[in-house]
């Protein structure tokens, strides 16, 4: 059995508790939707889980309707085909990667892409 000197163990325990406190704080930030400057590798080392984004067809349609645009305009803003929007809303296909992240952002902040619509000369439908 290997014995540790008390001095050595004390430093290790303190370092470990600081690492745990940082990990908990960063995890709370991520869960709250705040950004961090940590790399994916560092997050993994700290044992931090980045929550997966799940989005269903009804939610996609709801997000589009919150932005008050048609499927074709929504497609233009997201830089995808109108066919993709239709298929997502019908559940025939699922958005992936950065598009899924962007949809999640739009769900929380529907006006985040207003600048893009304005620069393309897109007019929103009137809210009902």
* pLDDT digit string, tens, across residues 8-53: 556 656 667 777 788 788 777 777 776 777 777 887 888 887 778 8
Which tokens is 20 given? 């745990």
Cα–Cα distance between 95 and 119 in angstroms, integer? 25
57-119 belongs to CATH 1.10.760.10: no
Any idea where the domains of the chain sit in the sequence?
A: 6-45, 57-119
Is pLDDT of 91 > 80?
yes
Distance CA 72, CA 85 (A): 8
pLDDT recorded at residue 121: 77
**Encoded tokens for 4:** 């540790």
């Amino acid at each position: 059995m290997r014995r540790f000197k008390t001095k050595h163990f004390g430093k290790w325990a303190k370092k470990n508790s600081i690492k745990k406190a940082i990990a908990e704080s960063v995890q709370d930030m991520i869960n709250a939707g705040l950004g961090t400057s940590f790399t994916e590798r560092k997050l993994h080392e700290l044992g931090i889980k980045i929550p997966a984004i799940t989005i269903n067809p009804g939610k996609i349609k709801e997000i589009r309707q919150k932005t008050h645009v048609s499927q074709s305009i929504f497609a233009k803003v997201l830089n995808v085909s109108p066919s993709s929007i239709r298929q997502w809303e019908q559940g025939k296909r699922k958005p992936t990667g950065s598009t899924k992240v962007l949809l999640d952002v739009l769900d929380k902040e529907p006006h985040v892409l207003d600048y893009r619509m304005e620069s393309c000369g897109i007019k929103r439908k009137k809210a009902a």
